[in-house]
Structure 1
Amino acid sequence: MPLDQAAEAFVENALRKPAKPLSETSIAEMRASVEALIPFGFEREDVHAVDDRTVGGVAVRSYRPGTEPLGNVVYLHGGSFTRCGLHTHDTLCRRFANRSGCTVVAVDFSLAPEATHPRQLDEITAVLTAVSRANPGEKLFLAGESSGGCLAAATALRLRERGDTGLAGLVLLLPVLDRDSGTTSRHTLDEDYLLSGEQMDWMFEQYAPGAAHDDPLVFPFRALDLSGLPPTVVVTAEFDPLRDEGHAFAERIREEGGRAEDVCVPGIIHHAPLVPKQIPAGARVIDDACALLRTIVS
């Protein structure tokens, strides 16, 4: 289908604003640009309880839905590895908790370039361990959005290599899985829809400078073996350069004997779920992910 009218207006408005090359843009400016989007996020929904604590020095925030939770979802925000945090994703996590029926545990992992790979994976693993120990017998899921999807997929691969089978499911929302996957969408949609090849190169240079191009814990798309991963949900967007690599990742899991469900939200761009007040269809990224997660729970 064509680009959603609200998404088209958002893109046109963004492209009208002159932007400096990334090489001339400071980390502070990058972070300020996403802070400006907070007012366009989801409406703030009530949840049964919100709890702030730290795990190994990392802040986490739990959102417990009003119903008896179906499990626990450790949630990793996006933001090019360099920006966003608990405050930028508060309303998104509230919606995720209510729609999934699970307690969502948002992780304020260390940002690049101040911290680089594999520190983020270590922090995420520590949070998963803490949540599992605090909730014995309850299902544990790992979810990540955009660059957080990269961290989620890499963490799942790392746990598999260690023989840890504690994850009941993996949820990837518009995931970044490679610097350049070579897929069709990566090269046909990376000019006009606000996520460019330049940005992809830049974010990985901040997060994992000097990483080998085939390191699956940096670039999960490059993993030679995707067998043994937990049941996986992948949500992509039609006008996202990352669309095809997300679908291909799910397809490979299925081909290698695993369970994977993937869905593409029509008409929207990569940034849509951060600005549902401007691109209402962006809400489907969260809602579709939660609906598919419930199929894993059941």
Structure 2
Amino acid sequence: MNRPPHRPRTGPDPAVRNLIDLATAAFPPLATEMTDIADVRAFLAARPRPDGPAPAVARVSDRDADGVPVRVYDPAVHATAPVIVFCHGGGFVLCDLDSHDAFCRSLARATEAVVVSVDYRRAPEHPFPAAPEDAYTALSWTAAIFPGRRIAVAGDSAGANLATVLTLLARDRGGPAITCQALYYPMLDPTRSRASHRENAQGYFLTADHLRWYWDAYVPRPADRTSPYAAPLAGADLSGLPPAHLVTAGFDPLRDDGLAYATALASAGVSVTVHHHAGMFHGFLSMAGALPAAAEARETAFATLRGALAPG
């Protein structure tokens, strides 16, 4: 497993700092000034939509995956294209199919894979284990609808938690088979105890207050916080999981959780690749249109996933 080199810590470069400030200004002040979930979602829904057309994909359809809404992006490259089951981020509380629509379109185009984006139930209305159970239902549906295809799981932030939990559930429940997992700045540990949670607690878009609020909504029962299906860093047995690719960011409170999970996977005998972006922050892969370095990082991440899904 490749590890990021240690470098003296400096602040983000001006272009990254400006993007952090813009993203922060466009995000609700949740957990501090705003705590009601309806208000937070209304704030996000009222934001202006991105300018320009969405990336074109041959076929996009909203489907019912045995009771779980999904959106299927089919680039129609070839009849046996691999499939990626994607879980969106948002702290298990926010975001939906629309918030990650452009990301999933770009993912389908870059990987030449069918992408199945999962609209799992969100906390606090539906706390753990609703989200992973919905994701597993969607995974099982995907395997039935696309038989014989190579399947990857992927997600960003809380969605990366759900993606890796899917590999645990598939192993423990006897399938479906998963070829690989792509975890983009994963949210894995409700204790929030590692150094990056203190170093990056404020000022880099995702904050310590956000994470506390998200985890309190998602796993309100203390007993659930040691379940490997909620907190994969809580001593889970990680043996027998598919190869993993992790993307981490230097100015992310979740940085050390992702790096610790990569180490834990490798220790369990899982093949792991880590792309660490020391000058980036949480969520940067979704901001590729605003920052060339983010666009380059996303291209690398998607190319890595495409390669992992290639036959042979």
Against the structure 1 CA distance between its residues 234 and 41, is the aligned structure 2 distance closer, same or farther, given a 3 Å change threshold?
farther
Moved more, 276-285 or 163-172: 276-285
Against the structure 1 CA distance between its residues 178 and 223, is the aligned structure 2 distance closer, same or farther, given a 3 Å change threshold?
same
Runs of 4+ in 1 over 4 A off after TM superposition: 13-18, 40-43
In 1: Cα distance, 2:196 partner to 2:178 partner: 30
- Residue 11 of structure 1: CA displacement? 2.9
- Residue 126 of structure 1: CA displacement? 1.1
| Matching of residues 147-162 of structure 1 within 5 Å | 147-162=158-173
CA RMSD of aligned residues (A): 2.4
Aligned counterpart, 1:26: 36
Are residue 263 (structure 1) and residue 275 (structure 2) matched?
A: yes
TM-score, normalised to structure 1, is 0.90
> 3-state DSSP class of the match of 2:49?
helix
Aligned counterpart, 2:131: 120
- Aligned with 2:64 (options 48, 54, 57): 54
Q: State the aligned residue count.
A: 298
Aligned counterpart, 2:73: 63
Q: Is residue 100–residue 293 contact of structure 1 (8 Å, CA) maintained in 2?
A: yes
Q: Is residue 171–residue 240 contact of structure 2 (8 Å, CA) maintained in 1?
A: yes
- Residue 176 of structure 1: CA displacement? 0.4
Structure 2 residue runs without a partner (length 5+): 1-9
> 3-state DSSP class of the match of 1:236?
strand
- Residue 28 of structure 1: CA displacement? 2.1
- Residue 14 of structure 1: CA displacement? 5.8
Give a deviation string over 1:132-176, Cα, whole Å, max 9, x none.
Answer: 111111101111111111111222222222233611111111110
* Sequence identity (%): 32
In 2: Cα distance, 1:290 partner to 1:199 partner: 27
- Residue 285 of structure 1: CA displacement? 4.9
Aligned counterpart, 2:108: 97
- Residue 115 of structure 1: CA displacement? 1.1
- Residue 29 of structure 1: CA displacement? 2.6
In 1: Cα distance, 2:306 partner to 2:126 partner: 34
Against the structure 1 CA distance between its residues 36 and 281, is the aligned structure 2 distance closer, same or farther, given a 3 Å change threshold?
farther
In 2: Cα distance, 1:41 partner to 1:244 partner: 34
In 1: Cα distance, 2:50 partner to 2:12 partner: 19
Against the structure 1 CA distance between its residues 219 and 162, is the aligned structure 2 distance closer, same or farther, given a 3 Å change threshold?
same
Are residue 88 (structure 1) and residue 113 (structure 2) matched?
A: no
Q: Is residue 83–residue 115 contact of structure 2 (8 Å, CA) maintained in 1?
A: yes
Moved more, 62-71 or 165-174: 62-71
What code does the residue aligned with 1:155 have?
L
Moved more, 98-107 or 219-228: 219-228
Give a deviation string over 1:162-200, Cα, whole Å, max 9, x none.
Answer: 233611111111110112343222221112212222211
Are residue 282 (structure 1) and residue 294 (structure 2) matched?
A: yes
- Aligned with 1:273 (options 276, 279, 285): 285
Aligned counterpart, 2:54: 44
- Aligned with 2:174 (options 159, 163, 175): 163
Aligned counterpart, 2:193: 182
In 2: Cα distance, 1:164 partner to 1:277 partner: 37
In 2: Cα distance, 1:114 partner to 1:11 partner: 30
Give a deviation string over 1:79-123, Cα, whole Å, max 9, x none.
Answer: 111111111111110000011111101111111111111111111
- Residue 35 of structure 1: CA displacement? 3.6
- Residue 286 of structure 1: CA displacement? 3.4
